[in-house]
Structure 1
Amino acid sequence: MYRAPFLNRKNPLVKRWRAAATLVISAATFTFAMNTPVEARGSGGPKAEAQQQTAKRAAAKKSKFNKRVVVPAGPLPATVMAALARAHVPLSSMSVVVERIGGNGVPLVAINANEPMMPASTMKLVTTYSGLSLLGPDYRWKTTAYADGEVDANGVLHGNLYIQGTGDPKLVPEELIDLVDQIRRNGITGIDGALVLDKRYFDTSTRDLPAFDADESAPYNVGPDPLLYAFKSLSFTLTPSPDGQVAIDVLPQLAQLQIDNELHVTRGACAGSLPAASPSVAQTTGGFVQASFIGDYPLRCGPRTINVAALDHSTFFAGGFLALWKQAGGTFNGTTREGPTPVSARLVGTHRSPVLSDIVRDINKFSNNVMARNLFLTIGAAMGKPPATTQKSSAAIQAFLHRSALPMTGLYLDNGSGLSREEHITAQSLADLLTAANSSPVAQVFIESLPIAGVDGTMRNRLTNAGAGGNAHIKTGTLRDVRAIAGYVGAENGESYVVVSFINDPRAEAARAAHDALLEWVYEGARRTASAE
């Protein structure tokens, strides 16, 4: 049986890992920040009473189909109960399952274990485990380029260039440049025709969906797309200088993007949210996109990075591709549009994504919502026939779980990322999945994709001075009124445990300490106050 490679935080090698992980975390900070909902960060968010009532009714409806027998188990430890009391969260708002790996299948703790709950981002575990099992850890997405028309002696294509996407979740500038280079190596240095985006791999019903909340420009609200580019988000870095100027850098570059910089450095204190750092982004005449920064910027505020998602996917991809194309010396004199690739077009380039095992690591370590949603739809297309729909993807995952003897009672999949008030699962179902994953062919890849407590990802700042730090692979979930943890803990006594817990309560944010206390208790060997298992 595979045992997760848990870290002993007292081992000096852990310090080296943490130092190396810091570099990885720095590179992924943008991904993590832009995939954390405003409401999840404790800033409130809009009221959603109607949505919550819908979710409660759905949960009640699902619960009557739950036929799993509740197994008697021990109570929660006093430290967890005390943390719940401090947060004023009743035990009825929490569901918990703790099971020893290699035990007799009887949970040490099973509290409200069969009640469907909102799991937030821990739902990504269902999507990523299913994706790894169905597609394989070495699966790669393809983004292909086709040309029709003739290429003259100067390398100008007198015809259209078609870009066909299949949902690559990590088509960032350093990846897309590979496709640009391949097109140029095939003799094309100019395009005297249209840039046509072929996005038929995902059904149109998966596009232009309502945002999760009112903050439509928030990167965590970016929806899936067959030609997802750089998470469809602009990252502006503002740097004030004593000479009164504020330098503005942007990633990725878009060919049609213009920056209107009317920021002025002031000598006052840095306080508040700094409204001047948030741009207004709008399309202007002539096909340009203008990002406007206006106002005072205190020098003491130092550099700030702002992430904004304000354009549609096709506009964003076309601008990103053409920026790279022109930077490489290419010319373009046409227009851009969406459309199918004709069968007569010839292949001029194929870019393959990083392997799925790397993609899953990004999804789980940094809780990337749009990458999870693209993977979710890819499962439906790959297991069936394109175009992908959410219904196809849900059916494919449910069928896989059924074949794996995982009935997953109470499971409802919406978009596969957990950024939803409709998605539900029981703690027992998710614990069963984690137990099955631990003994599966993809165990190592799957478990290593989870954040390590006190070391990296969304757990890097939790349990840093506790025994569980470095010894727990835990996926977190965070929404307004929801806190969740799910994963594996390597205990001090050498045993390994599966731990799943959801808190669905208006005071869930204040109850995070209860989850930390639970993980620490499990690390200490899950000593029970009742009879031993």
Structure 2
Amino acid sequence: MKQILLTTTVICAYVLTIITTPLFAQDTRSKIQDAFTQFQQQESLKNGLSSLTVLNAKTGQTIFAANENVGLATASTMKVITSATALDFLGKNYQFKTTLYYTGDIDENGTLNGNIIVSGSGDPTLGSTRYAETQASTLLNKWVSLVQNAGIKSIHGSVIADDRLYNGNQLPGGWIWTDMGNYYGAGISSLNWCENSFGINFQPSNKVGTKAEIIQDTTRAPYLNIINETTTGKVGSGDNVYAYAAPYSTKIFVRGTYGQDLKKTIELASPDPAYDLAFQLNAGLHKQGIFTSEAPATGIKMDSIDLTKKQTLDIHLSPTLDKIVYWFNQKSINLYGEALLKAIAYTTAGKTGTDDGAYYIQKYWNAKLGIKSSELNSMDGSGLSPQNRVTTLAMTKIMQYAQKQSWYPVFYESLPTYNNMKMKSGTIGGALGYTGVHTNKEGQSFTYTLLVNNYAGSASSMRQQMFKLLDALK
């Protein structure tokens, strides 16, 4: 009798699970639908477009989808696609390599009749302060010591930063003039240095509207001419300073306002990061009494260099890809995305163009998940281009795929936390987005992407409305 009762109890529990699970899912779907309907009714979206896709993170089944097949500007949510592709294709232990070597011979007096050359393969962390082993002072001191240890006391030649692999310093197509002079719009080179940026500090005036002086300019880059047109903003106005320049510019125009109470270093894009590396290494050698007969140079000089005699002094390996992806997503570093995009293209087919990288990412996810190029139409790896168009369904499918992979823990760790949810954000003019994963208090797990384009009003106000919508997943 006890056995019969036990069996009956198990059967009842099983039947109850079958009945309640769809009802539970239906309740969640209705909750999201109500929240999305309310979200779309706000005046700020009268002329805008929003798309939301929510999948069951465990089964991949669609819980809710609206405008899921419409391609929208992604902003920095594009970074999760680049991250997932790099981790899946290159592997979490992938490392970039930078080589220091010299050409020619060292005579009996310690004179190198040749050149000191640093050759890059696209490492975005070289000179970065985010890792102990990549900091500029650490690398420069090590390289200067290695030159000394090689018995070199003077150089009849120059220090050359070989940036030829990616054809110098370039910008992805679609990036705009108001971005490219600032740190977040820095170009990509095969020999990046200090995240291709540098800082300036201002002294605001006591009078609003008058000039804010640069009190500490780029002493590390005296070859640049910074034309300061920045004025002092009122207390609380913050940082409204923008730099205007392009790759290989020697003039950088700095405009906008700097708040009276602001104490912040303004980061600008380095117009020629490879040259800056050569310049800094050359200066470091000079400090140790090792002088060069020629000025520092970049890869454009390599065609005239005799490479029949060369000796490697150092091979520097970047942090592993999992550590790069962490900062890439946590701090939304556009340079890292472009470096990963090019690494994917170069590893796949020896190509180095941004468009090549975008093509191979599209091809990769078409083969993996059947995502069409019209669903994943990207112009870069970071999302800074306003021309990117991706559907929320495509992005959510890639996020869903990531959760089944061995590298997922490091990918998940790289996602920032907003609104008490793990998700990557994206913000550019007129576009906001969030994509992430979340497990609610009932144990339901979701994968989701929410993109909004052409909204009216402030970004902060729209962001709060988006958070309110995503609260339906909690």
Q: Is the alpha carbon distance of 1:79 and 1:397 closer, same or farther for their aligned partners in structure 2, counting shifts above 3 Å?
A: closer
Matches within 5 A, 1:72-471: 74=30, 76-90=32-46, 93-103=49-59, 105-153=60-108, 155-172=110-127, 173-174=136-137, 176-177=139-140, 178-203=142-167, 207=170, 212-215=175-178, 216-238=180-202, 248-249=215-216, 253-254=220-221, 256=223, 270=235, 301=261, 303-309=263-269, 311-327=271-287, 330-335=290-295, 336-338=297-299, 339=302, 342-385=307-350, 387-408=351-372, 410-453=375-418, 463=419, 469=420
Secondary structure of the residue that 1:234 maps to in structure 2? Answer: strand
Greater CA radius of gyration, 1 or 2?
A: 2
Supply the distance in 2 between the matched residues of 1:390 and 1:121 (Cα, whole angstroms): 16
| CA positional deviation for 1:93 | 0.8
Kept in 1: contact 2:39–2:465 (CA 8 A): yes
| CA positional deviation for 1:111 | 0.6
Question: Which among 463, 470, 473 is matched to residue 519 of structure 1?
Answer: 470
Kept in 2: contact 1:92–1:112 (CA 8 A): no
Supply the distance in 2 between the matched residues of 1:291 and 1:487 (Cα, whole angstroms): 38
| CA positional deviation for 1:221 | 1.9
| CA positional deviation for 1:437 | 0.4
Supply the distance in 1 between the matched residues of 2:49 and 2:258 (Cα, whole angstroms): 44
TM-score by length of 2: 0.77
Supply the distance in 2 between the matched residues of 1:520 and 1:238 (Cα, whole angstroms): 41
Q: Percent identity at matched positions?
A: 24
Matched, 1:485 2:434: yes
Supply the distance in 2 between the matched residues of 1:247 and 1:415 (Cα, whole angstroms): 33
The equivalent residue for 1:527 is none
Q: Structure 2, unaligned stretches of length 5 or more?
A: 1-28, 128-135, 207-211
Supply the distance in 2 between the matched residues of 1:507 and 1:84 (Cα, whole angstroms): 12
Kept in 2: contact 1:127–1:376 (CA 8 A): yes
TM-score by length of 1: 0.69
Structure with greater proportional strand content: 2
Report Cα offsets for 1:126-185 as digits up to 9, x if no partner.
111111111111111111122112224554422112221111011111463244443343
Q: Is the alpha carbon distance of 1:346 and 1:428 closer, same or farther for their aligned partners in structure 2, counting shifts above 3 Å?
A: same
Supply the distance in 2 between the matched residues of 1:262 and 1:121 (Cα, whole angstroms): 30
Supply the distance in 2 between the matched residues of 1:297 and 1:480 (Cα, whole angstroms): 21
Supply the distance in 2 between the matched residues of 1:219 and 1:210 (Cα, whole angstroms): 17
Kept in 1: contact 2:224–2:252 (CA 8 A): yes
Q: Is the alpha carbon distance of 1:280 and 1:126 closer, same or farther for their aligned partners in structure 2, counting shifts above 3 Å?
A: closer
Supply the distance in 2 between the matched residues of 1:76 and 1:133 (Cα, whole angstroms): 31
| CA positional deviation for 1:310 | 5.3
| CA positional deviation for 1:514 | 2.7
Kept in 2: contact 1:164–1:199 (CA 8 A): yes
What is the count of residue pairs matched by the alignment? 424
| CA positional deviation for 1:236 | 1.6
Supply the distance in 2 between the matched residues of 1:400 and 1:118 (Cα, whole angstroms): 20
| CA positional deviation for 1:281 | 9.2
Secondary structure of the residue that 2:423 maps to in structure 1? Answer: strand
Kept in 1: contact 2:48–2:455 (CA 8 A): no
Report Cα offsets for 1:426-482 as digits up to 9, x if no partner.
1111111111100112111111111122xxxxxxxxx3xxxxx2xx22111111111
Residue type of the alignment partner of 1:438: Q
Residue type of the alignment partner of 1:517: K
The equivalent residue for 1:501 is 450
Q: Which stretch shifts more, 376-385 or 330-339?
A: 330-339
Residue type of the alignment partner of 1:401: W
Supply the distance in 2 between the matched residues of 1:293 and 1:436 (Cα, whole angstroms): 44
| CA positional deviation for 1:419 | 1.1
Q: Structure 1, unaligned stretches of length 5 or more?
A: 1-72, 283-287, 454-462, 464-468, 524-533
Residue type of the alignment partner of 1:420: S
Supply the distance in 2 between the matched residues of 1:107 and 1:281 (Cα, whole angstroms): 46
Supply the distance in 2 between the matched residues of 1:280 and 1:108 (Cα, whole angstroms): 46
Q: Is the alpha carbon distance of 1:189 and 1:168 closer, same or farther for their aligned partners in structure 2, counting shifts above 3 Å?
A: farther
Kept in 2: contact 1:89–1:505 (CA 8 A): yes
Residue type of the alignment partner of 1:89: L
Q: Is the alpha carbon distance of 1:420 and 1:274 closer, same or farther for their aligned partners in structure 2, counting shifts above 3 Å?
A: closer
Secondary structure of the residue that 1:108 maps to in structure 2? Answer: strand
The equivalent residue for 1:56 is none
Supply the distance in 1 between the matched residues of 2:357 and 2:270 (Cα, whole angstroms): 27
| CA positional deviation for 1:303 | 2.9
